[in-house]
Structure 1
Amino acid sequence: MTYKAEYIWIDGTEPTARLRSKTKIVADGVPLPDWGFDGSSTNQAPGDNSDCVLKPVFSCPDPIRGGDHKLVLCEVYLVDGTPHPTNNRAKLRPVAEQYAAQDSWFGIEQEYTFFKADRPLGFPETGFPAPQGPYYCGVGADEVFGRDIVEDHMDACLAAGLKLSGINAEVMPGQWEFQIGPAGPLEVSDHLWVARWLLYRIAEDHNVAASIDPKPAKGDWNGAGAHTNFSTKAMREGYDAIVTACESMGAEGKVEEHIAGYGHGIADRLTGQHETAPFDEYSYGVSNRGASVRIPWQVEVDKKGYIEDRRPNANIDPYNVTRLLVNTCCAALEKAGQV
C-alpha cells in the first residue's frame, strides 16, 4: 500500500520567502526519503546547477486528503549535504540546543488578511468600509468576513495535530489571527509554517487569497503582526528574570539586530500608531500595547510568567524570531545567573 506525502518547503524568494510543495507517493512502512527539486524555479539555485534537496524534519496527518496521507515539512539542503543558505531552521537548531536547559516556550499570534479581487475581504468595490472598531472579535455578516474559511482552517490544524491554541477576528475587515503554542522554538516554528500552508491551501478552495503582508491596507488601518510570547523556566518562576529578558532586548545593537530579523516592511507597520511602538525605539511596559515588549498585567500580579514581543511582522520567518529571542534573552539570563 502507498500514501500521498505532501513535501512542503520554504523557498528563496526575497524579501519574504514563500511556501512551496509537491506530492510524493510513498510506500507504507518506508522512512520518508530525501527528495530533489529544481532550485532554479524557487530562487534557490542557478539554472546550470539547479538541484537542491528536501530533507523531511516534521510530518503530520494531512487533513485535506485524509486517510493515511501526510504533510511533510522539509529543510532545504545543497547536494553536498550542507544546509542551503535560505535554511533558517538549520541556523536555529544550534542556538536552541545551546540553551535547551532554560526550556524556552513560545506562543506566536499569526495575523493575516483575506483578499478577494485585489482588496481585503469585506472592503467594498469602491471606497472603504466603516472605520475600525466593531470588527475585532466581532459577530454578524456586517462585521465579520471569511469565517467559513477560518473554521475550516481551525478544524484542519486540529486534525493535523498542530498546537493551535485559538483564533479570533482582528481589527480590520477580512483580518484574522490564529495562535500556535505553547511550544519550544523548533516545534512552534514548524507548526506555524504548516499552519500557514494549510491556510493558503484551504483559502484556495474558497477562491480567496490569504496574505501575511504587514500593512495590507494603507491609511488608518491596523497592520498585521506576529506577536511573539516568550518565556523560560526562570521567567515562569520569578519576576527578576522577566525584567532581565526585557532589558536584554534594549541593549546596544540588539534593537537593530531584532528588527532586521522581524520581517520585511516593518517600518510601514511599526509607526507608533495602531497599537505599535516606533520600529527604531525600544520600550517595555506592563499592559502597554504601545510598547515594543508588553508584560501582561497578570504577570506583574503573579510576579512570574512571560513577555510579549509586539514587534514581529506577520511575514516573519519564525525560525529567525525564535533564534533571536532565545539567543538574546537566554544569554542575558545565563550571564545574570537567573537560570
Structure 2
Amino acid sequence: MLAATFFDGERWRDGVVGLGADGRPQLRDEEPSPGTPALAGRIVGGFTDHHVHLQLVDHALLASSRLGRVVDLGGDPSTVAGIARHHSGGSSTRRGSDASRTVHYAGAFLTPPGGYPSDRAWAPAGSVREIADSAAAATVIEELVAAGASGIKVASNSTAGPTFSDALFRAIVELAVAHGLPVVAHAEGPGEAQRVVRLGASQLAHAPFTERLDDEEIAEQAVRASWISTLAIHDPAARVIAIDNVARFHAAGGTVRYGTDMGNGPTPVDLNPTEVAALRTAGLDDEAVLRALAPVDPLDPRSLLLLLPPGSADPLAARPLTAADLKV
C-alpha cells in the first residue's frame, strides 16, 4: 500500500492506495501509517462529461478515455440504454465491456410538433418525441422513466421552430419532478434561457450563448439552475457571449458543469482540451475546473482512477492510474 492524496469532489484528502482483488488500483479512506511510502502524484476519479450524444460517436472509445461518467442528453432510449449496459458491465459477455464507466441518459428530446431538433438529419431515429399536450407528455415521460432515464431533456429553441407554451413547459417539469427527475433544457433564442429556468428547468444543457444576460438575470440563474458549459462548440461570436455569461455566473456562485456536446462536430471521446481552455478563460481555476468535471467517487472500487503529476491539479495532465504506478 502507498500513501496517497486524493480529490473527493470538493477537497484534497489523505488515504492509501493498493491493488484490489481484481488486480486494479483501489483507493481506501484510511490514514497512512507512519513511514508508508507515498505515491508519486495525486489521485482523482474519472471525469464526467455532462452533455454527450453517444449515438453520434464511437462510444467504444470511452474505454480508453479519462471519462468515468457521461450523461447522454438526446438519443433513442433503447439504443442508449444498451450502450449504458455495455459500459456498466451489464453486457459482460461482450468483448470490450468496461465496468469502470457509467452512462446516464435522458433519452429522447421532448419538443413541440415541428420543434427543434425534429427536422435535423443528425437526430437518430427515436431520439425526438413531439409533444402536443400534457396528456402526451405524461405518456412519454412514463416511457422514459421505464427506459431508465435519469433526467428529462426539453428543447426550447425559438430560432429553429416552435417552443412549448409556458403552461405546457411547466406541466412537463411537474410530471418529471413527480418521478424524481430533473429537467435539462436546450434553451436557444432571445429570452429562452431566462424563461425555461423561470418555468422550472433546473439545468441548462448549454451555457446561454444567444445573448448576454444582465447581472440581475445572472444572479437569478445562479440561485435556480446549473449550467453545462459546452463553450467549445460555438462559433467565435457565440463563444465570446457564452464565456462572458459563464464568467459572471461562476463569480456569482453559480454551479458550472463541464460538458462538451460530444458528437456535435469532431469532438474527442475523452477530455476536451478546448473546452477546458474555455472554462479557464471564463475564470475557473484548476480546482474549479475539477469541480465542474465532477469526478466519480474515487473510493468506489469500481471507479476509474486517474493520476495527476505531483503538485498538479490540471485535469489535462491526468492519465489512468495503473498497477505499475504502485510499485515501490
Instruction: Please report the TM-score for the alignment, with normalisation by the length of structure 1.
Output: 0.28
Instruction: Please report the TM-score for the alignment, with normalisation by the length of structure 2.
Output: 0.29
